[in-house]
Amino acid sequence: MLPQISCIIGPKAAGKTTLGKAICERTNMKLLNYNDFVSEQNLGECDEETKTIALIKQLSQELSPRLLLEDFPQSEFQAKFFIKNCVPPSCVFSLECSKDVCQERMITTENDATYQASAILSKRIRLYNENCKRLIPYLQQATKLRVVNTEQNFEQALQQLCSYVEPTILLVRPGGCPDSFEKRIQIVDELKQSKGFIELNVFQLIKEETERHTEVGREINEQISAGKDYQRDLDHLIVKMLKKIIYSGLESRNKFILTDFPDTIKQAQQFEQDCSKITAVIFSAGGDSGSALVEIIDNGFSIESIDSLMQ
């Protein structure tokens, strides 16, 4: 089965590799540079169709569930041929960066293997822009094209990129009322049945991972055998487990509910740093008060428990 495929394109020195590596690390993707692939397969002298056929064959053997193609497609022909003979990309990220900024960045890599002289860089950017006159309109029509301004700083560009990739994550918390746990169950069931959300029960998932002896399951068992408390010491492994599930490569799985994790501000911060933004917290107040929706805006937490936000 083919992986879930996304693409990232842009002029030389726009930040494709740097941003690509960062988004892949965060969202369980493998980065494949198209130009490196062509070079490794000795396809440099071949036409676009031959190169694209070879790429499709390579993708059909890929084991990773999610893959980001860097510097592909490079022309309207490649895009059309790929979509017709493979699959439409889940998303295409088009990085926008002026020639002047690209040249400034290239100067800083003068002693690097990727450095290119100003005249060569200008020629490559001019060729890229020429191809984009037909490529971009086609991608706008045939795919989910997302434009990212990479003249902003790295953190801002990555945040913009993440906003296009990350799913909806709801954290449903019980309140202090006697029936708040029952109310939470009702809220979760309603979201699952009427809105198509998937509940991620961390305790059940840990049990399944350890019983199946998966990679993360073995790591959790090793830590528990070493005397670690999974409710206190295994946050990084829990986030690793959740990341694998959340970014499984199935496009239909893009709405999730968390209940028992994260339970502290530290856990929430680690989850958001290494996996995904928490879209909102639903606080099940119980009783006649129903539930209150609290949007997390800047996450500038200074208190220990998420529950304190609702008090």
Tell me the average pLDDT across 208-224: 92
For CATH 3.40.50.300, the residue range(s) in the chain are: 4-165, 168-310
For 168-310, which CATH superfamily applies? Answer: P-loop containing nucleotide triphosphate hydrolases (3.40.50.300)
At 110 the pLDDT is: 61
Cα 240 from Cα 246, distance rounded (Å):
10
- What CA–CA distances, in Å, run from 212 to 215, 249, 270? 9, 20, 25
Q: Is 131 helix (H, G, I), strand (E, B) or coil?
A: helix
151 membership: H or E segment, kind and range: none
Tell whether the model's pLDDT for residue 297 goes beyond 50: no
Which candidate, 235, 250, 166, 227, places its Cα nearest to that of 202?
Answer: 235
At 120 the pLDDT is: 84
307 touches 173 (CB < 8 A)? yes
Q: Which of 235-244, 261-270, 284-293 has the lowest mean pLDDT?
A: 284-293
At 113 the pLDDT is: 61
Q: Which residue has the higher pLDDT, 108 or 55?
A: 55
At 307 the pLDDT is: 52
pLDDT tens for residues 133-160?
A: 999 999 999 999 999 999 999 999 999 9
286 touches 187 (CB < 8 A)? no
Residue 279 tokens, joined? 């879209």
At 302 the pLDDT is: 42
Write the single-letter amino acid at 59: L
Percent of the chain with pLDDT over 70: 88
At 142 the pLDDT is: 96
Mean pLDDT score of the chain: 87
Dihedral sign from CA coordinates of 154, 159, 163, 167: positive
Tell me the average pLDDT across 167-194: 87
19 touches 8 (CB < 8 A)? yes
List Cβ neighbours of 238 (8 Å cut-off, separation of 6 or more): 202, 206, 230, 261, 267
Q: Residue 178: what are its φ and ψ, rounded to 5°?
A: -60, -35
At 309 the pLDDT is: 47
Tell whether the model's pLDDT for residue 51 goes beyond 80: yes
CATH, range 4-165: 3.40.50.300
List Cβ neighbours of 232 (8 Å cut-off, separation of 6 or more): none
31 touches 21 (CB < 8 A)? yes
15 touches 97 (CB < 8 A)? yes
Q: How many Cβ atoms sit within 10 Å of the Cβ of residue 295?
A: 8
